[in-house]
Each structure stands twice: as structure tokens, then as C-alpha cells.
Amino acid sequence: MRKLLLVPTVTAVLAAAASCAPEPVEEASPIELVTSDLELMYGIISPNAEVVWDSVGTIVDDTGQNDFAPETDEEWEEVADRALGLAESANLLLLPERAQGRQVWIDTAVMMRDRAIRASETALLRDAEALLDAGGVLYEACVACHEEYLVEQTVF
Ligand code: HEC
């Protein structure tokens, strides 16, 4: 008997609570995409990536094989900063408006972010060989997304 009485009471309390609760308000996002995907690539991502990739390597000329890498503290820090810029710009790719729930897009952008962070760390450690490797695996993240979504490939 007690049980039967309890049920309507609980229901009534829940109903009262529901009617008092404020209506959930949809917060409008202040984020508005400024660039197209292509503008983001050319304006932010590519310039940062080029600094990382061009910072270390080997030039073969008349004098033979010459390895090069950043030399001064400023040069290493510049590479580390650009790689971090790249890592943060992966988050721009991950904005829901841009990612549109596409799984490969999300996975490759996360890959790009993690690998750019790795590149930055190698630059802070002034490790030219590790930076060369990190640049290579970073490139794979770019290609992985492009293979899936780039319709007309003109660069890579
Ligand atoms: C999550 C997906 C994604 C990742 C990761 C990505 N891109 Fe892109 N990228 C695109 C898309 C999409 C386009 C084509 C945009 C269009 O044509 O509208 C593009 C185009 C480009 C272009 C122009 C290519 C051409 O052939 O015209 C360059 C350059 C570029 N990306 C550089 C990079 C670099 C460098 C990286 C890695 C550091 C990178 N992208 C990582 C999605 C990505």
C-alpha cells in the first residue's frame, strides 16, 4: 500500500522540478571560420611546415655532401615555434565546422598535431637527426589527409 502511494508522489515532485527548471539555452558559438581550407593551408599550415622541413637536411654540390641544421639558439627556437604553430593549427582543422564529423579528417589532424609537437620537442633538444625524422613523419600526416580529401592535387 505504501509503495502505491509513493509512486504518484515522486512523479508529482519530478513534474514540479521539470516545470521550474530554466529552459536550456543554446549558447551561440562565437567561432566563425575566417579561411577556406585552402587559405588555411596556404596562409598558416604550409608556411610553418616549410620552415620546419627546410631547417634541416643535406645539400649535395661540388664540395660533396653537406648536412645543414639550425645553428644558433634563435634558429632552433624559430623552428620549435613554427612547429608549435603547426600543432595549434591542427586544432583549427579540428573545429567541428571544419571537421564535419569526418573520421579520417579528425584522425589525420590529430596525427598532424602530435607529430608537430614532436618536431617542436626535437628542435628544443637541438637534435638535428630527430628533427629530420620528425619532419618526415609529420609529412605523412599531411599526405594521409590529402589522400582522402584532396580532389585536385597540385602540390602534394
Ligand atoms: C585534416 C586534413 C588535412 C591535413 C592534416 C592537412 N591538410 Fe593540407 N589540405 C587539406 C585540404 C582539404 C586541402 C584542399 C583544400 C581545397 O582545395 O579546397 C588541402 C590543401 C593543401 C595545399 C594545397 C595543395 C594543392 O595541391 O593545391 C597545401 C600546400 C597543403 N594542404 C599543405 C598541408 C601541409 C603542409 C600539411 C601538413 C603539415 C597539411 N596540408 C595537412 C586538408 C588537410
Confidence of residue 134 (pLDDT cuts 50, 70, 90): very high
155 lines ligand 1 (CB under 6 A): yes
Tens digits of per-residue pLDDT, 46-60?
Answer: 999 999 999 999 999
Q: Cell 589522400 maps to which residue? A: 147
As a whole number, the mean pLDDT across the chain is 88
Q: Return the SS3 of 61.
A: strand
Domain boundary assignment for the chain: 34-149
Topology, domain 34-149: Four Helix Bundle (Hemerythrin (Met), subunit A) (1.20.120)
CA dihedral 97, 47, 122, 131 (to 10 degrees): 120
Amino acid in the structure at residue 91: N
Measured from the Cα of 138, ligand 1's closest atom is: 38
How far is the centre of ligand 1, averaged over its atoms, from the C-alpha of 150 (Å)?
A: 7
Give the pTM: 0.84
pLDDT for residue 2? 47
Tens digits of per-residue pLDDT, 87-118?
Answer: 999 999 999 999 999 999 999 999 999 999 99
Closest residue by Cα to atom 37, ligand 1, is 142
103 lines ligand 1 (CB under 6 A): no
